[in-house]
Structure formats: C-alpha cells, structure tokens
Structure 1
Amino acid sequence: MRNECMGIVNLTKKGEPRISKINATRPISSTPIAGRYRVIDFVLSNMVNSGIKNVGIYAKEKYRSLTDHLGSGKDWDLSRKKGGLFIFSPENTKYYNINASRNGDIYNLLANIDFIERGDEEYVLIAPSYMICNIDYSEALEYHKKSNNDITMIYKNINNADEDFKGNLTLDLDGNNRIISIGNNVGAFPRANISMETYIMKREDLIKCIYRIVSKGSHLFLEDFIIEELNNIKVGAYEHKGYLKCIDSIQSYFEISNDLLNRDVAKELLYSDRKIFTKEKNESPTIYTDTANVKNSFIATGCVIEGSVENSIIFRKVKVKKGSVIKNSIIMQNCTIEPSVELHNVVFDKNIFISEGKELKGDESYPIVIEKNISM
C-alpha cells in the first residue's frame, strides 16, 4: 500500500454529533480516551500502520486542541519531506465563493482540493475519526482493486443494531457484496450492516466527483451522492470483523470506555501488532500508597492513588486522596479528588477539583458530566 493510497480524515459528519459538555471547546476527534489517547489516534494509526504516509485532516471548527495534539505528526511518523500530515481548515471556502451555509464535507473537500490534486497516489481512502477500531486498510484496498468497484465502503455486520449505532447508515448487499441500497438505522431490527463511513476510490475519480457534485449543487455530503448514484456506479462493500464503536454521544463514549476494561477488547484495540500511536508525554510513574485499592482500571502515568478505584479510567496526573472511592468513572488529566469523595458513573473533564466529602452518583446509561476547569 506504500505510495499507492493517500488518506483523508473527514471530521465533518452529517448530523453534527456532540459528546455533551466534553465537546464544548474541542471536536470529537481530539476528545481524550483510554487514559492517554485522543479519538483521532485510532484512524490516524490505522492509516500509518497500513502504509499510508500522505494524510490530510479536513477539520471544521474548534480544532486548536487537535493541532496542539498532532503537532508536526512526528509521533505517527508523518513528519516527512514528501507526504506527511496536513491539517486543513474550512476557511478557504471564501476563496471558492462558497456559501457558509453549504458546510457539508463536499464543500470542505473542495475548499482544499489542491491537496488531493497534487497527490501522486492512485487511490484515496476517506475515513471519519469517531469510528473506533483497529483495522488493516491495506487488506480493504486489495479487495477494492480485485473487485473492480468504483467505490468500496467498509462496514461491520452487528447483531444489536436495535440498541447501538442508531442513526448510522445501513447497507443492503447482494450476493456479490455489491451495495443495492443504503438506509438509516432507526433501531427496527437487531442485525444490520453498519457503514463505517469509510470509502476507497481512485483519487482522480474523487476529484471528478467533487467537481460534479458542486456543479450540480445538489448535495452537501459525499454519502448523499453515493446513495443517489447507486444504480449508475459500482459500489461494493468490505467487511470489518473486529471491534467497532461509533462515538457520537456521551453514552457511546462511556460505553467504549467500559469496553476497554475488557481484556479482549483492550488487546485488540491497544495491544495488537498494529500499535495505536499518540503524542508522547513523559511522566513519572504512578504512585500507589498502602491505602490504595485498584480493581479492573486503567491508570495513566504521573498519578498519585491513595483511595479506591474500580472499573474506571484515570488519565495522567490525577490525585485520588485517602478515603475516596471512584467507581465506573472517567477522570481526565490534572484532576484532584480530595479525601472521602464518592464518585459513581461520572465523567470529569480536565483540571477538576472536588473538595472533601462530596458525593456524585450518575446512572450507568447517563453519567454525570463535569466540564473542565471547575472547582466543586
């Protein structure tokens, strides 16, 4: 796959999902996850591990935290003289005289289409950041080339569509894995082929497609164009059989955090041969005192644990003081939990201070979310 495929990380989603207060100042792509990562680390690492060395990230809004996290791309081996990592804003829409209200992914791609046009790769892979998985895209590319498809969409067949992935696209396939119809998952049936909103096609075809859509003025999103053209182009499907979670709500964010405490899920996502890269931050080891009691939890570096932590994810430089109990919770970096605090089913953003003796208890399905930089 080297020098054969370029990558595009598309941060514009139809429907604009938000993870409650956690996304007040950051996009979903830069949301902290799993103790030391950001959401975008998964798709970016999947691309790098698949040999893609030319990656464009098409941002939309509030992407300062994203650029701070990614930097030059060196932690993903994307700081290069040829290719590398590029982050694009939608500001160039003014140059193309694009109405600001026409803010779908097609117009975001058009605003920075020179990145696609100057590439020399034959193929392009477009993927969102919020579909969390560990996948080898090179296998999907090989399938695409052999299948003679105009476009290949990656999907997963799931058996709980009546509970999960609601609002995501569903694919109806024929016997040759060609897509014959695309709909929305309204939760009517438990089993469904869920689109991962990941597309593979020839780079030149994508360029023609973008200009064609814009000239017609009929669509804002690439997925809408594909749905309309199903009878005119060959759209195939490649099945991902591993773990998948779409982070589009506080509930799904909380669920994947719980899933990561399952050894099998953690091994597949974080500890397989395909490493998930992130921005390196060297911290001192976590200190556990003789009063600490930790069960089934992720504890990042630089913490001081004096209390009890169970079924929780604790980010860097968190202090849990003596007598405090944290269960089924997510505590992001630089938080201080004073003595004798009880936290159940809560999500703390960064830099939270909670004073002695306080108690917060949320529901397993609807955790309490506290935005960053608050003292309680």
Structure 2
Amino acid sequence: MFPQTNPLLYETLQADPFTRFLGATLEEVSPGYARMRLAVRPELAGPQGVTHGGTVFALAEAALAAATHAYNVVHLALNINITFHQATRPGDTLIAEVQEQRAGGRTASYQVTVTDQGGGASLLPASAWSIERSRCLSHRSNPAFPFLSYTVRLARFNLRTPFGGRRMATRSALALILAGGASPGLSVLTALRAEAALPFAGKYRIIDFPLSNCVNSEIYDVGVLTQYQPRSLNEHVGNGRPWDLDRSAGGLRLLQPYQSYPGQSGVWQEGTADAVRFHLDIIQEADQELVLVLAGDHIYKMDYRPMLRSHLERRADVTIAVRAVNPYETHRFGMLTTDPDGRVTRFQEKPRRTRSTLASMGIYVFSRELLVNWLTRDGRSQRDFGHEVIPGLLENGKRLFGYNILSYWADVGNVQAYWEANMALLAETPALDLYDSEWVIHTRSEERPPALLGAEAQVDGNLLSDGCRVDGRVVRSVLSPGVYVAPGAVVRDSVIFTDTVIGPGAVIDRAIVDKEVHIGEGACVGEGEDNSPNRDMPNRLNTGITVIGKGAHIPAGTIVGRNCVIRPFLKAKQLEGKTVPSGTTL
C-alpha cells in the first residue's frame, strides 16, 4: 500500500468480495485513481494456455470500480472499449492502472491500462470507460462503507465519505462569487450594469460561467456578492432556477452591502476582501469547511473539485488557481512564484516588472476558519485579496499553494479583451467549447423564435442567437437575441447586443453595440482609416473598436469614426447631420 493511500479507504475496497475472489491486490487508491496487481494462476488461463481475456478484463473492471467507488457514489458503466495487444501466461504478474481523464456533471471518462510486470501492454482501451454518475438512494447496511441499494438514471446524490477524508460533493464548499465591480475599462458597456451581467457569446452573461462551473462541480451553496449597478444582474440571476440553485437548503443567495444599524455611514464595500467581510455571518453559519472565492467577471470552464481535493491533500490554508501568461501581460495580474512542491514563495499584485509567469486567476480556496480569523483579526483593515490579504498571509507564514490550470480562461475587463474573447468563438475550433454536452453553460433564456435569414441575406462565420432576423450581410460577428439587420446593411467583425436594429444600407465595422440601439439608414459606425486613440481612454481604446451605449440612436447618414464612444440613450437630434471623428466621446 502506498503511503498516500487513506488506510480505511484501502481496507474497505480491498475487502470487495470480487477482488478477493480474483486474488487481486489493491496497491493504491484515491478518488479517480487506482492501481491493482494480479498474479496469474493456472486456473485463470484459457484452453490455449494464455491468460484468459476475461481475467484481464475482470482485473481492469475491479481496478476501475475501486477508483470510482472511492468517490463514495455509485457508478454505472455506459460503454467499454478494449484492445488486446499481446498475450500473457500463468506465472506472469499483471498491473492495472486507472486514471480519470475527464469528469462532467453526470459522466466521466477513464483510461485503464493493464501491463505485465515487465511493462508489456496486455490490454489498452481504445476508448476509455464512460461512467454515468447516478443518483443513489441508500441505507447504511455497513457503517464503514454505505453501499447503495438502487439507482435512478441521470441524477446525482452525494454522501459524506466515511474514510476519514471528505467527498468533494454538494456540501463540500461554500462558493462566493464577487460580482460587484464597476469595471471602468469596459467604458459605456458597464455604465448601466455590473461586468458580471455583461452579455457574452450572444445569449449568455459573464456570470453564467462561474455559476455553471459551480453546479457542474456539484457545489450548490452559492452566494453572489453585488454592489455596483446590480439591477441587471439581479434580474438575470433571480432565484437561481436556470442553474438548479432554487433550493430550500443552500441554493443561490444575492448578497448586497447593508447598514448594520440605523444611520450607519460608509457601508460600501471597498474591495474584494471587504465584500467578503460584509458577509462573514454567512460563512460562519455555513457547515462547509472550505470557502471557494470566485471572480464573477472571468470566462472559463472549470471543475473545481480537483482543486478542492488538492487543497485538502496539501493541508493548505489558501490555494490559488494559477496559469502561465505572456511576460508582456504580467502587469494585468497578481503574479506568483512557487517552489517545486507548488507552495507560494512570492506574490506581487500587478507588477510593472517580474520574472514570474504564473498569474493568479482570481480563484481562491480558503479554509473557513483561517478566512474568518484573518478578516476579523490580523487582516481586519485589509480591503483587497490581491493587494493585501494574500501578501499578508504569505508574510505571516501561512501555507499558500498554487494550483495550475491549463484550460481556456479569459479576463475580459477591457474593451479589447472583451471583443477578442467574442471573436475567438468564431474560430473553426474555438478554445472555449460552448457545445460540450458534458459541461453545459446554463443561462436564463428568453422565449424567442429561431433565427431567420431572408432571401437576400449573406452570412459567413457568425454566432446568431434566437430571434435574430438578417436581410443584409453579416460577417464574423456575434449577434444577441432579437437583432435585426435590414436589407443592404453590412455588419463586420462586431458584437451586437439584444434587440438592436441596423437600418437599410448601414455599415457596422469593428464595433460593440449595446442593446436596443437604433442605427439609422445609411449610417456608418467604424468608418475610415483614422485610428486615433480615444481622447478620454487613450490607453484602453486604441485598436479601432467603437462602442455604442445602450439605447442610443444613430440617425440616418451619420458617420462615426474609430475608437469612438457613444454614451447610453444619446438622442438622434444630438447627432443629426454630424460626422463623429475617430477618438471622440459623445
């Protein structure tokens, strides 16, 4: 038995009747991983004197059962594909090793390899086991391991593990999503909404990604911390029903700043840590031992369970999700340096220069007791996680670890990054797969008819949402629900929000147009070769993208240059007959 194997878990699974009958020995096991050994006896051979194929299969299946049952959830095999590469004989020793490849909300894929002791492959699945994680209704016939009596397809139910550790399941962590930031880098797009409520990929909002990641990771106790312009976010999130978070126990809670007593002043949250401090009562009342703190303005897909397990296995105080970034982008992130074991040795928040290339993703796992104690004692005056709390904990000798993430992740906190993230979805094989049936991004959807293309419509490489009607030409663009493109109109390399109307003959080029905007007949947005930076935002709006605020009216024939900003609800008479030069804000 390997030293990292939990002894009680090992003993319970090793006592499996079939494993004992087979004569296999479980050497190592943890959730999603197992290693099992079998000495081939004469009675396990076939008539040709070689090891019976059923023996090899049975060993692989027994090892797979150990790896999956270590989660303390009943698993049912959906399909198994195997390939035999060479024969073995009695006297040989076979070793089966199981590794979880991918875990979705209800299914998981495993790679199982069986080799002889000399390393020759006996069996290798051509495609891995696909396991359906099913709902378990149970009785505790054995207090050491609660075997489960029957299953119902396509649902989940999780129990606390009896193995001295913790099952990463529904009650494993309290998630807090920080969604109250103003995000000035997004200009007028966040003038009337928090960044977390900003539309993305046509039909989604940015908050949909962390919320969906939580429920897909079987975390069902979620608080969304709001402050700046919360109305749009509150309406979208509601009671959490689209994410299966409308629950009587746990579920989703919208958490706003509040007065503790009548007449109290200065009660606005002043940073990420201050936002969490406002709601320490929620953390203290929760029965979870871990607190997962998430940014509500990042776009990514992530299973949080492996990170939570890593936090427990390392006995960490704080675990920080990190990823490698380009050296030219380090000024945008909190940068970490780690030792060979992954322990954080240095942290710098948005440094101008650094040798580190590991950036914090704004995803933190805190041990609950440490978080509460720090925010009420040593760190009671600290307002921000990146600037103050993380460096303070590090200086105080706490155990901080990095957790590497290799998958797609985007911080869309400025106009250029937001536009690029949308355009990246139009690639032939986008890095962010929104069509993954095993990791669905849920959202609050409106009932709209299918997209409609007119007889003269021309479309090429777009994302078109429900309710869109196109009678003109749309190229490499993302259109939200209800957008109308009139005959003769052209939309290129642009992001158009809900219920915007683009009139006949109008041209939109490299623009982000907010919802309910009306572009008049023959108007041009993003016109000409003049790429002068925006005079109010020269460092943030300088790549030729023009931004039109919500409800603005661009009258017929108006010319709007590049790097321009049109504020929300601008009236047509304020622009009538005008040419708006590049770099202008109106």
Structure-1-length-normalised TM-score: 0.92
Residue 370 of structure 2, aligned match among 184, 190, 205: 205
Instruction: Trace 1:143-162 onto structure 2 (pairs within 5 A).
Output: 143-158=310-325, 160-162=326-328
Comparing 312-321 with 175-184, which one deviates more in the overlay? Answer: 175-184
Deviation at 1:299, TM superposition (A): 0.3
Match of 1:82 among 229, 243, 249: 249
Please say which of residues 294-303 and 202-211 is displaced more in the overlay. 202-211
C-alpha distance in 2 between matches for 1:190 and 1:295: 43
Residue 102 of structure 1 and its aligned partner are, at CA, apart by: 6.4
- CA-atom RMSD, angstroms? 2.2
SS of 2:375's partner is helix
- CA contact under 8 A between 2:321 and 2:362: conserved in structure 1? yes
SS in 2 for 1:230: helix
Larger deviation, residues 86-95 vs 16-25: 86-95
Partners in 1 of 2:262 and 2:222 — Cα distance? Answer: 23
Q: AA paired with 1:38?
A: R
Contact 1:93 1:107 (8 Å CA) reproduced: no
The answer to whether residue 392 in structure 2 is matched with residue 228 in structure 1 is: yes
Displacement of 1:64 in angstroms is 0.8
Deviation at 1:214, TM superposition (A): 5.5
Residue among 19, 23, 38 paired with 2:190: 23
1:70 aligned to which of 223, 227, 237: 237
In the alignment, the residues of structure 1 paired with residue 518 and residue 268 of structure 2 have an alpha-carbon distance, to the nearest angstrom, of 40
Cα 1:178–1:197 change in 2 (3 A) is same
1:309 maps to which residue?
474
Distance 1:296 1:106, change over 3 A: same
1:206 partner letter: L
Going from structure 1 to structure 2, the CA distance change for 1:114 and 1:27 (only over 3 Å counts) comes to same
Map of 2:545 onto structure 1? 367
- Structure 1 residues 28-51: Cα deviation after superposition (integer angstroms, max 9, x where no partner): 000011000001101111111111
Taking CA–CA contacts closer than 8 Å with sequence separation of 6 or more, which of the two structures ends up with the larger relative contact order? 1
The reply to whether residue 133 of structure 1 matches residue 296 of structure 2 is no
Cα separation, 2, equivalents of 1:116 and 1:323 = 56
1:75 maps to a residue whose letter is P
Tell me which residue corresponds to 1:280: 445
Q: Distance in 1 between matches of 2:288 and 2:220?
A: 10
Determine the C-alpha separation between the residues in 2 that align with 1:152 and 1:77. 27
| SS class of match (1:6) | strand
- Check whether the contact 2:203–2:445 (CA below 8 A) recurs between aligned residues: no
* Paired position in structure 2 for 1:322: 487
Give, in whole Å, the separation in 2 of the partners of 1:245 and 1:94. 40
Offset, 1:195: 0.4
Are residues 1:249 and 2:414 paired?
Answer: yes
Match of residue 225 from structure 2? 58
Q: Report the residue type matching 1:5 in the other structure.
A: A
Aligned to 1:44: 211
Q: Distance in 1 between matches of 2:315 and 2:277?
A: 26
**Aligned length in residues:** 371
Aligned-partner Cα distance in 1 for 2:320–2:487: 51
Specify whether residues 17 and 358 from structure 1 end up closer, same or farther in structure 2 by C-alpha distance, changes over 3 A only: closer
Give the gaps of 5 or more residues in structure 2: 1-167, 532-541, 555-586
Matched, 1:174 2:339: yes
Tell me if structure 2 keeps the 8 A contact 1:213–1:225: no
Is 1:10 aligned with 2:183? no
Structure 1 residue 289 and structure 2 residue 454: aligned? yes
Match of 2:290 among 106, 111, 123: 123
Which stretch of the first structure deviates more once superposed, 359-368 or 227-236?
359-368
Amino acid at match of 1:194: A
**Partners in 2 of 1:253 and 1:165 — Cα distance?**
18
Deviation at 1:353, TM superposition (A): 0.7
| Letter of the structure 2 residue corresponding to residue 172 of structure 1 | T
Give the equivalent residue in structure 1 for 2:57: none
1:181-213 deviation per Cα after TM superposition (whole angstroms, max 9, x unaligned): 111445657971110111102222222122124
SS of residue matched to 1:67: helix
d(CA) in 2 for partners of 1:170, 1:81: 40
Structure 1 counterpart of 2:204, one-letter code: Y
Structure 1: distance between partners of 2:508 and 2:338: 46
Percent identical: 27
User: Could you tell me how far apart the structure 1 residues matched to 2:544 and 2:293 are?
Assistant: 32
Is 2:516 aligned against 1:351?
A: yes
CA contact (8 A) 2:183 2:190 kept: no
Decide which moves more: 76-85 or 271-280: 271-280
Distance in 1 separating the partners of 2:436 and 2:472 = 28
Which ranges of 4 or more aligned residues in structure 1 deviate by more than 3 Å?
A: 15-18, 92-102, 184-191
Question: In 1, Cα distance between the equivalents of 2:489 and 2:392?
Answer: 56
Tell me the distance in 2 between the aligned counterparts of 1:102 and 1:332: 30
| TM-score normalised by L of structure 2 | 0.60
Greater C-alpha radius of gyration: 2
